[in-house]
Amino acid sequence: MSQATPRKVWSPALASWAARDLMRQPAFTLVLFVALAAVTALAALVLLLQQTLATASTRLLDRAPHVVVRRVGAGGWLPLDAEAARTRAASVVGVLRPRARMWGVVSGPEGAVTLVAVDGRDNIDLPSGWPLPHSGEALVGPGVSGDETPEHISLNGSVSRVLTVTGQLPRSAGSVVHDVVVAHAEDVRALLGLGPGQASDLALDVFHPDEAAALLPELAAAFDWPVQITTRQEQLGRHLAHISRATGMACLGIGPLLLAILSVVVAVGIWGRRSWETGVLRAVGWTGADMLRLHLYRGLLVGLPAMSIGTLIAHLLLFWPGMTWVPQLLFGWSGPPPGFYLSSTGSAGAWLLAMVLVGVPFMAAVFWTGWRAAGADPGDILEGGR
């Protein structure tokens, strides 16, 4: 006698029974729902944060020069001869717009600030209409000035200078210009201790970003002194690796919480009244496949909404307008958050991964209890449950 019968995956009657079954244990169902939503929110938060930081880093570094050349010596970084460096770099085929940059770190009123020199409009992007600082003047970032723009700012480097603050850099660019002071080249040169004609490094572009790595040997050979050459892709790679490493470790931290939930699910499924009822259902003719489907429907009826709400909560926690806890927690910034962006593929990937990291173990636990219910002899279950 062949017992082959058509396989049904979807059974409306079983699905309704699963929903009724959940309502018979409202307290457990609610606790499970809340716990799953919370863990999913945590996982999604971490992953969305990773995605948004990665996207933000990528977008920001997209505006960075393709290649940066620094002169190095035995003791570390050395200033380079601006004109000579520019000429040598320009001699390499494929190099575009070599430009010497003056920038460095000096002490400001509330800690270290990044000092950037401007010397002509073509070297730095500022909102049009903003006056470039003259000698003795400076533009300051929101983290340097605080809520009220000061009239003067005192900077200490190789020398000490007091500069007149003529404007504040936009808050919306806070993630980049938070601690930046833009000043005239003369003042920057003095504060950084650079000699006449010297620069901090050389920035240059290439025709196609992917060519940057290929030009490194020629670039290195073009200079008479030892140089450290960093490409944009390399820098981005380091950022992204750091972010993903931190994310991975954070995800591991969610593990114990998840394990606790799964243990409860399995325990409730295996022991107690639930187990005995499983025996009754098997004994009156429910097959193992029916039991598995029942457990699956129950898991999905609780799990899918819980995980969806969890990921939604994570999304709102990060991107609801006015949310400032992320920059405060991560960067110690007060005030409006920097511009966090999320690409559609990035967010979809983060959501999916959050569902996988939480959903797969949860459904595995649900299946485990269902599979035990399906696999055990009904007589054993009935006798064990009494």
Partner 1 sequence: MHLSGLACHQLGFARPGRKPVIDMLQARFAPGQATLISAPTGTGKSTLLHLLGGLLRPTSGEVWADGQAVSRWPAPHRDRWRRQVGMVFQHLNLVPDLSVMDNVLLPCIPTASSYTALIHRAGALLKQLDLPAAGREPLQTLSGGERQRVAIVRALITRPRFLLMDEPTSFQDDDGTANLLILLAEAAADDACVVVCSHDVRLRDETRIFGQKLCLHPSSLEPDP
Partner 2 sequence: MTWHPVALAIWLLDITAWLIYMGAAWRLLRILPNWRPLSLDARQLWCERALELTRYQGRWVLLLLAAAYVLLVIGISNLWPSLVPGAMCGTGVLQAMGAPGARTLLYWALTLGMLYVWLVVVQIDGRRPEGWLSLLQARLLLMASPFMVLGSWSLAQALPALTTEVPVSCCAVVYDQAGGQGWVTAWTTDFLSSRAWFWSCMAASGAMTAWGGLQGWSGRIGKGVIAISAGLLLLWLVAALNGLRFGIAPYVYEVLGHPCPWCFFLTAHHAVGFVFYGLVAVVMCEALAGLVAVSVGRHYAVLARDARRRSQCAGRRVMWSSLLFWASTAAPVVFWRVRFGGWID
Give the footprint of partner 1 on this chain (CB under 8 A): 1, 3, 5, 11, 13-14, 17, 24, 277, 279-290, 374-375, 377-380, 382, 386
Q: In the complex, what is the shortest distance from the CB of residue 33 to partner 2, in angstroms, rounded to a whole number?
A: 24
Q: Considering the complex, state which of residue 209 and residue 288 has its C-beta at the smaller distance from partner 1.
A: 288
Question: Of residues 58-87, which lie at the interface with partner 2 (CB under 8 A)?
Answer: 58
175 belongs to the binding site for partner 2 (CB under 8 A): no
66 Cα distance to chain centroid: 23
Q: In the complex, what is the shortest distance from the CB of residue 347 to partner 1, in angstroms, rounded to a whole number?
A: 40
Q: In the complex, what is the shortest distance from the CB of residue 140 to partner 2, in angstroms, rounded to a whole number?
A: 34
**Residue 97, Cβ neighbours under 10 Å: how many?**
15
Q: In the complex, what is the shortest distance from the CB of residue 381 to partner 1, in angstroms, rounded to a whole number?
A: 9
Largest Cα span, the chain: 98
Residue of 96, 112, 241, 283 that binds partner 2 (CB under 8 A): 241
Residue of 228, 287, 324, 345 that binds partner 2 (CB under 8 A): 345
Residue of 364, 382, 384, 385 that binds partner 2 (CB under 8 A): 364
DSSP state of 286: -
Q: In the complex, what is the shortest distance from the CB of residue 33 to partner 1, in angstroms, rounded to a whole number?
A: 21
Q: Which does 311 bind (CB under 5 to 8 A by kind): partner 2, partner 1, none?
A: none
Q: Which does 282 bind (CB under 5 to 8 A by kind): partner 2, partner 1, none?
A: partner 1
Q: In the complex, what is the shortest distance from the CB of residue 56 to partner 2, in angstroms, rounded to a whole number?
A: 14
Tell me if 243 sits within 8 A of 53, measured CB to CB: yes
Q: Considering the complex, state which of residue 2 and residue 344 has its C-beta at the smaller distance from partner 1.
A: 2
Tell me if 346 sits within 8 A of 55, measured CB to CB: yes
238 belongs to the binding site for partner 2 (CB under 8 A): yes
209 Cα distance to chain centroid: 23
Kind and range of the H or E element at 363? helix 344-375
Q: In the complex, what is the shortest distance from the CB of residue 94 to partner 2, in angstroms, rounded to a whole number?
A: 16
DSSP state of 136: T
| Both tokens assigned to 68 | 């940066």
Alpha carbon distance 288, 138 (integer Å)? 76
Q: In the complex, what is the shortest distance from the CB of residue 239 to partner 2, in angstroms, rounded to a whole number?
A: 10
210 belongs to the binding site for partner 2 (CB under 8 A): yes
Q: Which does 213 bind (CB under 5 to 8 A by kind): partner 1, partner 2, none?
A: partner 2
Strand duo 160-168 + 137-140: pairing? parallel
Report CA-CA distances (Å) from 80 to 77, 120, 195: 9, 20, 10
Burial 145-154 (b: 16+ CB within 10 A, else e): beeeeeeebe
Strand duo 198-199 + 67-73: pairing? unpaired
Q: Give the binding-site size for partner 2 (rule: CB under 8 A).
A: 33
Q: Which does 378 bind (CB under 5 to 8 A by kind): partner 2, partner 1, none?
A: partner 1
259 belongs to the binding site for partner 2 (CB under 8 A): no
Alpha carbon distance 16, 28 (integer Å)? 18
Q: Considering the complex, state which of residue 186 and residue 377 has its C-beta at the smaller distance from partner 1.
A: 377
248 belongs to the binding site for partner 2 (CB under 8 A): yes
Q: Which does 152 bind (CB under 5 to 8 A by kind): partner 2, partner 1, none?
A: none
3 belongs to the binding site for partner 2 (CB under 8 A): yes
Tell me if 357 sits within 8 A of 251, measured CB to CB: yes
| Both tokens assigned to 19 | 């929903």
Q: In the complex, what is the shortest distance from the CB of residue 364 to partner 1, in angstroms, rounded to a whole number?
A: 20
Q: Which does 281 bind (CB under 5 to 8 A by kind): partner 1, partner 2, none?
A: partner 1
DSSP class per residue in 160-214:
EEEEEEEEE--GGGHHHHTTEEEEEHHHHHHHHTPPTTEESEEEEEESSGGGHHH
Alpha carbon distance 302, 306 (integer Å)? 6
Residue of 36, 42, 47, 113 that binds partner 2 (CB under 8 A): 47
Kind and range of the H or E element at 78? strand 76-78
Which residues lie near partner 2 (CB under 8 A)?
Answer: 1-4, 47, 50, 58, 210, 213, 231, 233-234, 236-238, 240-241, 244-245, 247-249, 251-252, 345, 349, 353, 356-357, 360, 364, 371, 375
